[in-house]
């Protein structure tokens, strides 16, 4: 809902990121989505790999 009103020029507008330097809204959102996808993949891998161990650790 917050991003829907943004225009094409809003998406290209750059701000100053402390680590990345000049970064557009489009670039920033792309990085956030990719970052989250990496963590989801890590979580799913760990759940598949360590599920039996994780359950036994609870007991």
Per-residue pLDDT tens digits for 41-57: 888 888 887 666 655 56
pTM (2 d.p.): 0.65
Identify the helix (H) or strand (E) that includes residue 32.
helix 25-58
In the prediction, which pLDDT does 46 show? 81
In the prediction, which pLDDT does 48 show? 80
Per-residue pLDDT tens digits for 8-49: 999 999 999 999 999 999 999 999 999 999 989 888 888 887
Q: Which of 39, 40, 16 is nearest to 28 (CA)?
A: 16
φ and ψ of 17, to 5 deg = -90, 140
In the prediction, which pLDDT does 27 show? 96
In the prediction, which pLDDT does 34 show? 95
Domain layout of the chain by residue ranges: 33-59
Secondary structure class of 39 (helix, strand, coil):
helix
Q: How far apart are the first and last CA of the chain?
A: 43
């Amino acid at each position: 809902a917050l991003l829907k009103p943004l225009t094409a020029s809003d998406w290209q507008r750059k701000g100053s990121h402390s680590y990345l330097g000049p970064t557009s809204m489009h670039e920033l959102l792309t990085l956030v989505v990719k970052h989250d996808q990496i963590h989801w993949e890590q979580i799913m891998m760990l759940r598949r790999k360590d599920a039996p161990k994780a359950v036994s650790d609870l007991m």
